[in-house]
Structure formats: C-alpha cells, structure tokens
Amino acid sequence: MVFSSNLGFPRVGANRELKKLIESYWAGKVTQEALLQGAKEIRVGHWKLQQEKGIDHIPSGDFSLYDHILDNSITFGVIPQKYQHLAPGLETYFAMGRGLQKPAVEGAAKIDVPAMEMKKWFDTNYHYIVPEFQKGQQFTLAKSAKVVNEFLEAKELGIHTRPVIVGPISYLLLGKTAKDSGDFDKLSLLPSLVSAYEQLLQRLAEAGATWVQVDEPFLSLDLTEQAKSSFKGVYETLSKASSSLKLLVATYFSQVGDNTDVLTSLPVAAIHVDLVRAPQQLDTVLEKINSTQILSLGLVNGRNIWKTNLAKALESVQKAVSKLGGDRVIVAPSCSLLHSPHSIEGEKKIEPEILDWLSFAVEKLREVTILAKAVDDAGSVKAELEANSKSIQARATSPRIHNPVVQDRLKNITPEMFKRNSPFPERRQSQEKKLGLPKFATTTVGSFPQTKEVRLARSKVRKGDWSQEEYDSFIKSEIEKTVRFQEDIGLDVLVHGESERNDMVEYFGENLDGYVFTQNGWVASYGTRCVKPPIIFGDIHRPKPMTVDVIKYAQSLTQKPMKGMLTGPITCLQWSFVRDDQPRQDTAFQLALAIRDEVQDLEKAGIPVIQIDEPAIREGLPLRQNEWKQYLQWAVDAFLLSSVGVEDSTQIHTHMCYSDFNDIFPSIKRMDADVITIENSKSDLKLLSAFETHSYTNWIGPGLYDIHSPRVPSVEEMEARLGDIVKLLPHELVWVNPDCGLKTRGWAETEAALKNLVAVARAARKQY
C-alpha cells in the first residue's frame, strides 16, 4: 500500500491567527497561558485537517512560535551567552528571535539584547535564526523537548504523527561560529551533537513514535568531501538509537546530484527527494536506492500555487511502484508546505476560471492523498482525477494565458535590444552635459516615509470611502510635499517618493495583464511576518503606461532632475508566484519588455533619470553552483532588455540590497547601469573592494547609512564612511545616498539624516 505523507504544514493559520496571537502577546494584551493555549488549538486544528484530508504520515514538531531552527537550538541548548541571564522559556526564546529591551525596574537591571542573525532559508523567502556555535561546544538535550511534547499532544488526541527534526549535519551547516570562538570547523561538533540527537530519538521512541522525519536539505547542495563523508557515520549511529524507530531522511529544493550515493547508502528506512525541482532524478534514485529503503516522492509542489498535474505525477508514482512495490513508496509534497499559502477557500476575488487552477496547502494535501490512493484503489479517486485533468487542460488552453502580441515580441527580440547605443564613457559625457550634476551627487533610493495617513488613504479608497479623485489628489499632495522637502534639503536628483505604492512588486503587478492577487495568500517570511506574493498566471502585457503620469507631475514641480522609479524584471519574478508552464526566463523577458516600454515612455515624457530596482537579483541564484552561470546569463539579459532602450543622455540607475554581492560581481558589471546604489551599510568594505578589484568603471552610490533603524547617523560618521569609500573607489565615480528606500522611516529622522548626508557631500566636493 502506498502511503501519503506531509513534510510540514504552514503554521500561521487560515486567517493568520497565529501571527495575531503572538503579536498580541508581545504587545502585552494576551497572557503566556493564553498564547500557549491558542497556539495549541491552531496546531491541533492543523493535525485534524491533515487527518481529514487522508494523510497517513502527519508531521508534528513542524509548528513554531517563531522559527523551527530556533526551536532546534533551544532543544539542544545552543543558547549564546548573552541570552543566558534571561528568564528561561519564552523570554529567552523571543529575545533570541527578535531581541529584547526592558527598562530597569527595582531589583532587576535593564535588559538590552539584540536579535540573533537571520538568514534566508535556502532559496525560499523564509528566514531562519542562525545558530551560533562555540568551539568545543557540548550539546545537551533539554529536559522538555518541543518535538516530543508535540508528538505526545497529538497522540493524546488519537493522532499518530511523524515528528520532524532538522538533521544534525544540516543544522551545523546552517549555523555560524561565534565571533569569540575564532574560526573552527563546525562539523567537528558532530560527535557531541549526534549523541544529543540519539537521546532525542530515544525519547521519541519511548513516547511511542514509529517514524521520524529528519530533514537534511544540504544533501541538495554542493557539499565538501568531508561533509559528504560524515553522513554515513552519523546515520549509522542515529539509526541504531532505537530499534522501534524508522528514520526518513528528507532533502529538497534541488537535485541530489553528486550526493545521490550518499543518500541512497544511508542506513535509514526511507529517503525523500524533490521531484518537482528535479524530476529527472527519479530514474537515478530508483536505480541507486538500496534494497531496504522506502522512497518518498516529492511530487506536489510545496513552493508554488498551481494544481498538480495528477496524471503526470501518477506516472512517476507508478514507475516507482513497479520498480519497488507499493510498500516501498510514499507520496508527498516536494518540501514542507510552510512555503504555501493556507487554502484557496477564502479567495473570493479571483475569477472562478483562474481559481480553478490553484492549489494552496490544504488543497495540496488532497492531491497527495489522491496520488497515493490512485495506485491501490483507483476507482475511489476517479472523479477527482478527472476533474483535475479538466482543470489542467483548461489552464493549458485558456486564451487568458496566451497573448499573441507578447509571444510575437518575444520571438522578435534581437541582440541589439540588449545593448546601449554607446559605452559608458560616452554616455557619461552626454549625461554630464544634460544634467549638470556636481561631483558626489546626492540622491535617495526612492521611497519616502509611508506614514499612517498614506496607508489610511489607501484603505479609504479601497473601501470606497474615498473616490478615486480624492485619492489621486491626496497622492499629488504627498508628491508635492516630498519634492519640496528634497529641494529644501538640497538633494540633487529627486524622486517622487512612491507614496502611491504599497509594495514595489504589487504596484506593477496591478498595472500589468497576466497578474492576479490573492486576498489571503500569506506565506511565512520570518517570525510572525508574512508576505503575500502576487501570482503571474499569463503572458505579461502592459496595457498602458504605469508610472508616467505621477513622475511627470513630480518633474513639473521642480527644475531639478526627477528620477523615475521602476521595479526590475527579476525582482518582479522573484517576489511573485510564477508560471510553471514556461521557463522562468521567458516570464522574466516578458516582464522586461513591459518595463522597457515604460522606460521609453518615461524618457519620451522628458524624465532624464530612470531607476530600475533589482534588490532580488542575488536571491534568484540556484542552489547548485553549476546552474549559476545560466541563471545569471538570462537574469542580466532581462535587466538589459528592460533598461537599454534609451538615449545616451538618459541616465539609468539600478539599486540592490539585502545580500552579499561579491560572488556575482561580474554580472553586476554586465548590467552596465550608469549608476548603481547599493546597500553597504554594514560598514563592510569587502563589497567595495570588489568594485575596486573588478575595476568597476560606472558611477556607484554605496549606501552611506542604514535605513533599517530610526537612528540618525551623524555627519562625522558618514564622513568617515565616505572616507573609506574614496580610498577604494575613484572619487569622481562616487554618489552619495542612503542604502535603501525610506518608506519604513518617519519624517523627522529622515530629515535629520538627509541633511547630514547633504552636508557630507558638500564637504567632500571641497575636500576631494
């Protein structure tokens, strides 16, 4: 019999109940008891739901109040010194996740601890709390281990779950070494960690668990020989922890590739592979799987929102069954459903035709069980399989998806469309002539404070309390205020402030054909924070200019050059749910063409400077290095396609933030923007030295201060930063700007910070 399973369920709840609950607790509106009780109810609800959908192996321990890697750190006592004086339990836990500030009260000193570092979970938009290891660290299993407690909690309800833990090797590789520990090999900590894991497994066995899912996502990444060779020993030990436990080692997000032998030779009961990201690996894995292992097939995409083509997935199930027998096959989502929105049930605004193509976490569970049942008892799911095949057909042939005009343009892209008319030195001259900017020209990255009034205005027009005209005139007044503000401060290249945009991708999505929006399609990003990515369902087409009116209006208010603001094709792609019926590259090019048209219309409207933001270009990098080159080729091409269709004298800016760009430097160079403003506020000169090493020749605006905090940087501080910058970069190439948009800031601190920034630039013009 083929079993159905799930690898993890989104925690936040159908209506983000968990988020609201935890945030109320933080705000002091809810007691700890109520928080824990409420969280339990949500968890229980999710188990029951998975049971109703017919899932055989239901995960437990995947739930979290902040982050499952942080949970693991607590379970194994990986708590850095600076949190150890805090009250154990939730105080310590949330302090590690988000920092804690408490004024001194009688008998207790003040508390002021920062949050631990947060990092992206592989190539998803989820962020985990990075464990911090000491040299020679000893791991001790907590008396009360969350994953055991949650297993027992489900058991009490009569639900036999499969506890999920992150595997010891991935756990170490996800972490970093503590600063005061010097550099050491994290894997040297394995012996102590594995013995703590052994104890955990024994406790789970005593509690009655029969299966445990151990996630080792690093098996889908490039591993060192040393890491590779550590797997066997570790799993030999763990598989002997208890004779009554079966281990499933799960890996996902990419191809197992050269780690296949490692995976298939592990002495564990089952292995899981991602067949959505890497369908081609089924054959290899079937060939190499050892004769006792059970294979869990990740066939339902845990990271996108389209209905699974069940007929096609069933072929893979059948292939596996005919090779291994039904008893050695499990059907599963490709990865944890943490990365999917909860359910399509609440979606009232998406047209029925398109809604019929979608499947969120709850619907995906049913897809998994249908696939499992289809093998043993095809009759029982015949109707559902037929309905699925109808939806798949309907989507594939829907006229809503294909736009011949777009297809045609895509086919007729020529090599000239990726090149500016002249190389940078010539463009620079034309731009200097046209714009007449001083050295160390000052600008901002685009957005200005999005105050309560701005958000209120948006909600008023959405609810119908305001007419469109009322809203438009409000936005105009915001733009005027922002322009005057920048003139008063003395900035050189002005922006309109982006007050009409609630989100830099959503705004463009709303103005393009081919996009739809969910009301409730929230996906966890970090802690209680969720994002609601728009959905690209069809060919991207721009029915009319999207930003020209506002930018033109902004330019009409000032003699200074106005910078038009656009979101780049790769960022739109990365921060949306994208089509799975065409290569990502094609979608990126369609977006690029739409933006190219906008760029040209802005130019025609007399806008001399245009910025195309690409903060997400680095995060699109594939997990496997051998796929980088191909990605970077089309990603940079897409940017070029969007940006190069202008005169030499039109100045193209781009902006990047959020990551370390050193390893994609040659690609940044190939983007050939006239000006790049780039986050550099972590006073990390490594990035700048990359500009130096690669002898970057275009203009650069390394962020002079960090906008993520309300702190106002002093003149001296920014002067020192600029001093460091001009040591590495030719000063005539340097622009002066903050490191990202100002929308999360207040006006008062923005004014103070920008005044200092302008003062720094003016002084530099004299000094250098």
**Residue 408 has which token pair?**
């045609």
Task: Name which position in 741, 756, 761, 764 contacts ligand MET (CB under 6 A).
Answer: 741
Considering only residues 411 to 470 of the shown chain, the ones binding Zn ion according to CB under 5 A are none
Considering only residues 652 to 681 of the shown chain, the ones binding ligand MET according to CB under 6 A are 655, 657
Q: Which residue has the tokens 């929230």?
A: 522
701 binds Zn ion (CB under 5 A): no
Would the CA dihedral through 288, 294, 300, 301 be positive or negative?
A: negative
**Residue 356 has which token pair?**
């019929």
Task: Name which position in 447, 520, 643, 681 contacts ligand MET (CB under 6 A).
Answer: 447
* Window contacting ligand MET (CB under 6 A); options: 330-338, 441-449, 463-471, 719-727: 441-449
Q: How many CA atoms lie within 13 A of 731 on its CB side?
A: 15
User: CB of residue 660 vs ligand MET: minimum separation in angstroms?
Assistant: 15
| Closest to ligand MET by CB, 447 or 520 | 447
User: CB of residue 444 vs ligand MET: minimum separation in angstroms?
Assistant: 7
Using DSSP's 3-state secondary structure scheme, residue 683 falls into coil
Using DSSP's 3-state secondary structure scheme, residue 658 falls into coil
**CB atoms closer than 10 angstroms to residue 627:** 13
For the chain, percent helix, then strand, then coil, each to nearest 5? Answer: 50, 15, 35
User: CB of residue 681 vs ligand MET: minimum separation in angstroms?
Assistant: 13
Pairing of strands 111-113, 100-102: antiparallel
Nearest to 310 by CA among 755, 318, 3: 318
* β-sheet with 651-656: strand ranges across: 563-567, 609-613, 651-656, 675-678, 699-702
Considering only residues 548 to 577 of the shown chain, the ones binding ligand MET according to CB under 6 A are 565
How far apart are the C-alpha atoms of 633 and 651, rounded to whole Å? 23
Q: Are 192 and 172 in contact, with CB atoms under 8 Å apart?
A: no
Q: Is 662 annotated in some ligand binding site?
A: no
User: 447 touches which of ligand MET, Zn ion, none (CB within 5 to 8 A by kind)?
Assistant: ligand MET
Residue least distant from ligand MET (Cβ): 741
Task: Indicate the helix (H) or strand (E) that contains 354.
Answer: helix 352-355
Active-site residue flag, 653: no
Residues 595-634, mask of contacts with Zn ion (x by CB under 5 A): --------------------x-------------------
How far apart are the C-alpha atoms of 21 and 24, rounded to whole Å? 5
What distances in angstroms separate CA 273 from CA 219, 270, 289, 689, 719, one per listed residue? Answer: 10, 10, 11, 40, 52
CA 41 centroid distance within chain = 28
Amino acid (1-letter code) at residue 86: L
Residues 607-626, mask of contacts with ligand MET (x by CB under 6 A): ------x-x-----------
User: 565 touches which of ligand MET, Zn ion, none (CB within 5 to 8 A by kind)?
Assistant: ligand MET
Residues 639-658, mask of contacts with Zn ion (x by CB under 5 A): ------------------x-
* Window contacting ligand MET (CB under 6 A); options: 93-101, 139-147, 379-387, 737-745: 737-745
Using DSSP's 3-state secondary structure scheme, residue 513 falls into strand
> What residues have CB less than 8 Å from 141, skipping those under 6 apart?
75, 76, 77, 196, 199, 200, 203
> What residues have CB less than 8 Å from 221, skipping those under 6 apart?
122, 254, 623, 624
Check 160, 339, 708, 731 and give the catalytic one.
708
Q: Which residue has the tokens 């799993």?
A: 235
| Closest to Zn ion by CB, 302 or 615 | 615
User: CB of residue 741 vs ligand MET: minimum separation in angstroms?
Assistant: 2
Q: Is 572 annotated in some ligand binding site?
A: no
| Closest to ligand MET by CB, 515 or 575 | 575
Q: Are 347 and 521 in contact, with CB atoms under 8 Å apart?
A: yes
| Terminal Cα distance for the chain, rounded | 76
Q: Is 19 annotated in some ligand binding site?
A: yes
Q: Is 125 annotated in some ligand binding site?
A: yes
* Window contacting ligand MET (CB under 6 A); options: 117-125, 211-219, 443-451, 718-726: 443-451
Considering only residues 28 to 57 of the shown chain, the ones binding ligand MET according to CB under 6 A are none
Q: Which residue has the tokens 């002091």?
A: 28
504 binds ligand MET (CB under 6 A): yes
User: 551 touches which of Zn ion, ligand MET, none (CB within 5 to 8 A by kind)?
Assistant: none
User: 302 touches which of Zn ion, ligand MET, none (CB within 5 to 8 A by kind)?
Assistant: none
* Window contacting ligand MET (CB under 6 A); options: 75-83, 173-181, 188-196, 740-748: 740-748
Nearest to 235 by CA among 220, 245, 221: 245
Q: Which residue has the tokens 């406790």?
A: 203
| Closest to ligand MET by CB, 202 or 502 | 502
Q: Is 476 annotated in some ligand binding site?
A: no
**Residue 457 has which token pair?**
């205005």
707 binds ligand MET (CB under 6 A): no
| Closest to Zn ion by CB, 708 or 727 | 708
| Closest to Zn ion by CB, 255 or 499 | 499
Q: How many residues are present in the chain?
A: 768
* Window contacting ligand MET (CB under 6 A); options: 26-34, 68-76, 237-245, 445-453: 445-453
Q: Quote the Cα angle for 649-650-652, to 5°.
A: 130
Q: Is 353 annotated in some ligand binding site?
A: no
Q: Quote the Cα angle for 744-745-749, to 5°.
A: 175
Q: Is 236 annotated in some ligand binding site?
A: no
How far apart are the C-alpha atoms of 32 and 26, rounded to whole Å? 10
Q: Is 657 annotated in some ligand binding site?
A: yes
740 binds Zn ion (CB under 5 A): yes
Would the CA dihedral through 420, 422, 423, 428 be positive or negative?
A: negative
- The count of chain residues that interact with Zn ion, using the rule CB under 5 A, is 3
Q: Is 740 annotated in some ligand binding site?
A: yes
Task: Name which position in 21, 445, 641, 754 contacts ligand MET (CB under 6 A).
Answer: 445
User: 504 touches which of Zn ion, ligand MET, none (CB within 5 to 8 A by kind)?
Assistant: ligand MET
User: 97 touches which of Zn ion, ligand MET, none (CB within 5 to 8 A by kind)?
Assistant: none
How far apart are the C-alpha atoms of 1 and 181, rounded to whole Å? 51
Residues making contact with ligand MET (CB under 6 A): 445-447, 498, 504, 565, 613, 615, 655, 657, 740-741, 743
Question: Binding site residues, as ranges?
Answer: 19, 125, 498, 529-530, 575, 613, 655, 657, 679, 740
Question: Binding site residues for Zn(2+), as ranges?
Answer: 655, 657, 679, 740
Question: Binding site residues for L-homocysteine, as ranges?
Answer: 613
Residues making contact with Zn ion (CB under 5 A): 615, 657, 740
Question: Binding site residues for L-methionine, as ranges?
Answer: 498, 613
Catalytic residues: 708
